[in-house]
Structure 1
Amino acid sequence: MFPRAPLRLLRRACGPLLAALVLASAQAVAVEPVRIGVSGPFTGGSSPMGISMREGIRIAAAEINAGGGVLGRPIELVERDDEARNERGAQVVQELIKEGVVAGLGIVNTGVALASQRFYQQARIPVITSVATGSLITKQFLPPQHPENFVFRVSANDTLQAAMIVEEAVERRGLRRVAIFHDATNYGQLGREDLERALVERDIHPVAVERFQLRQADMLTPLRRARAAGAQAILTYGIGPELAQIANGMARMGWKAPLIGSWTLAMSNFIDNAGPNAEGARMPQTFIQEPTTERRASFLAAWKEKTGTERIPVPPAAAQGYDSALLLAAAIEQAGSTDGDRIREALEDLRTRVEGVIMTYDRPFSRTSHETITDTRDISMGEVRNGQVVFARDEDRQRAVRQ
């Protein structure tokens, strides 16, 4: 037992220390997280893209928080499933804004993007579209009608993809009689327009244009029409389940025409549902799941640790989600603020080099260009081989190694 006097002295000595510890603890608790909205299709036919994107964003957020967060504050992801439905996407973004997000990431489907990103624009909150590829997405809010544009993107737009698809069919394979198969969504309709424009530049018109619905099972009838019209290749704009129906229908007909389409031919539910009939399909890809650089190897290791599996359902979606989160974090740091206008200005003049998975970003945006990818040389051509997407061309793989 301590004598009374020393106890009093001990209390006096420890009192200020205890008060300081309590104050420091209260201050730590009081640090508000930086809330970032993340929306995408986490259920349904588009979910392989949405889940891949979301996991990529989560991996980036964990790394950022492990490094101290942004502005000394942790990032908190506020996630919502938009179910790949336009009206749900619009509702989700309005909910996220009410919950106090300072920026948005995600959005997979073109129609959902066009329906929902207007609410970010109206609230003057920047959004980086991680996956949706419709060429109109970053052009929806341009001057002079809209002095500032709050919509940015890291994926490869469909104008670029269509040029690569047509180049593969016409220039590399020498095919001039092609059919276009596209779904009835905004994505499919706008993609079809991009394909037709790219063909017209070569004085080619498709011998058949076939539109199909989501969840349409019968592709034999339109395929027979395309073959009867003399199509030498099928160019596609759709998503995995319906693309698999096309590949399987061609196999049932014994028709071995090349299947060349947009990046969604890399979706796991195309490859799995089509099985051996997916072999040889080609598509543009911003990222192919190979550790061609240290950065990519690190990302793939983080993916395996986080998810417990090596397989990424849609590798470009995961990489684009990851990179979009890194770019946003860099912009918030540069802005020194979570104010939407300040973040937008920082994105348009980003002075920090950001080493991503797809590329190293050096001033990726400007006031007049909100696209990180503006050249087909930043995109590889992928091919399904043995149930996975690999580099279709050795020149693309060599370039990826040098990046």
Structure 2
Amino acid sequence: MNRFRQTGAAVLAALTTLVAWPAAAQTPPSPAPIRIGLIAPLTGPSSDFGKPVLHGAQMAADEINAAGGYLGRPIELVVHDDKGQPDVGRAASQAMVESGVLAAIGFCNTGVALKSIDLFQQARVPLLVPCSAGAPVTRQYPAPESYVFRNAPSDAIQAPFVVNDLIRRGWTRVAIFADKTAYGESGLRDVEAAMATHQLKPVHVERFDLGVKDLSAGLQKARQAGANVVFSYTVGPENATIALGRQAIGWDVPQVGGWTLSFPFFIAGSGSAAEGALMAQSFIAEPSNERRAAFLATYARKHQGPPPVPMAAAQSYDAMYLLTYAIFAVRGKLDGPAIKQALENLPRTYYGVVATYDRPFTPDDKEAVTSNMLIMGQVRKGKVTFAYPEDARRNLFVQRKR
């Protein structure tokens, strides 16, 4: 076992000791597992980032269980496939909540999340979102009351981060291509708001339905409007439609966006048209330090290769550990409200893959990721790497929330 995993096991063992001593004179805890829900698109067009969410969380659960679980009780994932469809996601969420899970990890698609969040809130089941980036996801309830936490970078920070990079590069005539889902709608608003801070407006805005196969007409309009960059806000296959459309009409302008430009459906689906695309990232799959090297090596060993969407896998892995740290911090009855309070007041720092989590949440702040944790990724030779050498150097040090 490498030193990273030994450290994680040692922390969990120490936590077990701290929690166990007042219970020594009480009835031994039930051997029943700690049931944590997990919901993600495991099939369908969003499965390329849904499956890594499952793999990351399960990998962390396996490590936690190998270290003794919670007072001998193993972590058990209760897995549901939302297929990337809001109605399916709501039905699965209802079943999950009714099954009695203590907490949940989930959602990749903003529209699916927004359709189901109220179920977790009403049941007082803490929900940790490691994937869905839509800004509205954590804004449905006043922060002190909300049971919805997120350890993925919100579009509210991704959009300004990318816009600032466009300004740095001199790409100020922006065409925005956004799908008509809740993700595309909120992303469009975030990009327009970020541009407005620089007294800029998009030269063209194109909206489209999921599944669209041809956007050449919209691309021609953007070209005629004088755009010198395309900012896309959609999930995966449609990003490839944009890239291939640019290539087909011979329009050589860069394509930029949020983290979805790092997905296989875009990179593999676009081929050479994906080359040079830029996107916001919280984690790039390069073994830049011991924590990340250990995570990537273990993932590759378990799944016969690297994570197809490294951010999704790493953030889900960290989410499972954050929930576990919160569970160990509970004194008294172990239930949803107690876990919520523990997440808002984590007493121990978790040294994660994406970040070092030192008080990642408070009663008034349910976002664990801040803009200083972001780096700019770029597609080169079919893989995502660092756009800037300084980001590669900075990535040697795991960032903390600011």
TM over 0.5: yes
Q: Per-residue deviation at 1:71? A: 3.5
In the other structure, the counterpart of 1:4 is none
The 1:248–1:28 alpha-carbon spacing in structure 2 relative to 1, beyond 3 Å, is farther
| CA deviation string 1:327-358 (max 9, x = no partner) | 00000010144311110000000011111110
Alignment pair present for 1:314 and 2:309: yes
Native 8 Å contact 1:56 1:319 kept in 2: yes
Alignment pair present for 1:369 and 2:365: yes
Q: Per-residue deviation at 1:297? A: 0.5
Alignment pair present for 1:341 and 2:342: no
Segments of 5+ residues of structure 1 without an aligned counterpart are 1-26
- Specify the code of the residue in structure 2 equivalent to 1:218: D
| CA–CA separation in structure 2 for the residues paired with 1:103 and 1:176 | 44
2:301 corresponds to which of 284, 305, 310:
305
Which structure is larger by alpha-carbon Rg, 1 or 2? 1
Segments of 5+ residues of structure 2 without an aligned counterpart are 1-26
In the other structure, the counterpart of 2:159 is 162
| CA–CA separation in structure 2 for the residues paired with 1:159 and 1:370 | 13
The 1:226–1:35 alpha-carbon spacing in structure 2 relative to 1, beyond 3 Å, is same
| CA deviation string 1:204-224 (max 9, x = no partner) | 111100011111000111100
TM-score calculated relative to the size of structure 2: 0.90
Task: Single out whichever of 217-226 and 65-74 deviates more from structure 2.
Answer: 65-74
Q: Sequence identity of aligned pairs in percent? A: 45
In the other structure, the counterpart of 1:103 is 103
In the other structure, the counterpart of 2:379 is 384
| CA–CA separation in structure 1 for the residues paired with 2:38 and 2:137 | 17
After superposition, the CA RMSD in angstroms is 1.4
Q: Which portions of structure 1, spanning 4 or more consecutive aligned residues, are displaced by more than 2 angstroms?
A: 27-30
Native 8 Å contact 2:138 2:150 kept in 1: yes
In the other structure, the counterpart of 2:219 is 223
In the other structure, the counterpart of 1:277 is 273
TM-score calculated relative to the size of structure 1: 0.90
Alignment pair present for 1:140 and 2:140: yes
- Specify the code of the residue in structure 2 equivalent to 1:270: F
Alignment pair present for 1:396 and 2:397: no
2:135 aligns to what SS in structure 1? coil
- Specify the code of the residue in structure 2 equivalent to 1:154: N
2:209 corresponds to which of 209, 213, 227:
213
Q: Per-residue deviation at 1:175? A: 2.0
In the other structure, the counterpart of 1:359 is 355
- Specify the code of the residue in structure 1 equivalent to 2:146: N
| CA–CA separation in structure 2 for the residues paired with 1:370 and 1:363 | 11
2:283 aligns to what SS in structure 1? coil
| CA deviation string 1:84-142 (max 9, x = no partner) | 11111111111001111000001101111111121110001101001001111111110
| CA–CA separation in structure 1 for the residues paired with 2:250 and 2:28 | 66
Q: Per-residue deviation at 1:169? A: 1.4
In the other structure, the counterpart of 2:10 is none
In the other structure, the counterpart of 1:328 is 323
Task: Single out whichever of 110-119 and 341-350 deviates more from structure 2.
Answer: 110-119
| CA–CA separation in structure 1 for the residues paired with 2:291 and 2:347 | 20
- Specify the code of the residue in structure 2 equivalent to 1:228: Q
Q: Per-residue deviation at 1:164? A: 1.3
In the other structure, the counterpart of 2:13 is none
Q: Per-residue deviation at 1:36? A: 0.5
Q: How does 1:167-178 map to 2 (within 5 A)?
A: 167-170=164-167, 172-178=168-174
2:256 aligns to what SS in structure 1? strand
